[in-house]
Amino acid sequence: MDNAFVLDFLRRLAANNNTAWMQAHRAEYLRARDHFAALVTEVLRQATPLAPELAGLTPAQAMFRLHKNDRSQTDPEPYKRRFGSGLVPGGRHAPRAGYYLALSPGGHSWLRAGRFTPTPPELAAIRQEIHYSSDEFHRRLEDAELLRHFPNGLDRSGEQLTRPPRGYAADDPELPSLKLKSFGVGRLFTDEEVLGPDFIASVVAGIAAARPWVEFLNTALEA
């Protein structure tokens, strides 16, 4: 694998984000994609003994397309500025919580763990689990090992409700969390970290640290 080549390709794509440039540089795109697939393969190889539920997952099942599927009329760029993967049992689109690894230059590479933009039934199930098992919810999010790898804790910066969800009281002590529409933790990596010798080890350690949190969410989703 060559993370430097991947980051360099993505830098050039960001400066030339159009179909004509991509067609002229398709060979480089395929090479960069292959290097990212090799990274995902090695992360899975090292992470599976620590998270056995990832056994059998392949890069093809995990990797997202570079082409945007949800581009709005105001978005002129047809391609994402990152290579991304969803390390989720059953594949990237499986209705479960999991781990998400992306490479993007300029310090925008990341590892995330959780369930992001769940469907309304999934959202209801997660909220119910938080309501019924609030002590366990906090215990897993406040775990020292989790916070060592994801020091910002639960990401509360995304879209959320302005009012209590239906069925929950306005004075529910868990209301700030119940209003969320995504449930995850995340951390960024600098380009230097991505290119360093310990990058894969850091990713694998982050997956191991986040596994109890991911299991909490899957308890709700699989009920």
Q: Which of 82, 94, 70, 74 is nearest to 33 (CA)?
A: 82
Q: What is the pLDDT of residue 204?
A: 98
Q: What is the pLDDT of residue 36?
A: 98
pLDDT digits (tens, 9 = 90+) for 193-218: 999 999 999 999 999 999 999 999 99
pLDDT digits (tens, 9 = 90+) for 29-72: 999 999 999 999 999 999 999 999 999 999 999 999 999 876 55
pTM of the model: 0.94
Q: What is the pLDDT of residue 72?
A: 59
Q: What is the pLDDT of residue 49?
A: 97
CA 47 to chain CA mean position, Å: 15
Sequence-distant (6+) residues with CB within 8 A of 25 are: 9, 12
pLDDT digits (tens, 9 = 90+) for 105-153: 999 999 999 999 899 999 999 999 999 999 999 999 999 999 999 999 9
CB 60 within 8 A of CB 53: no
Q: Is 56 exposed, middle or buried (0-12, 13-18, 19+ CB in 10 A)?
A: exposed
Sequence-distant (6+) residues with CB within 8 A of 63 are: 33, 36, 37, 40, 83, 84, 85, 92
Q: What is the pLDDT of residue 170?
A: 93
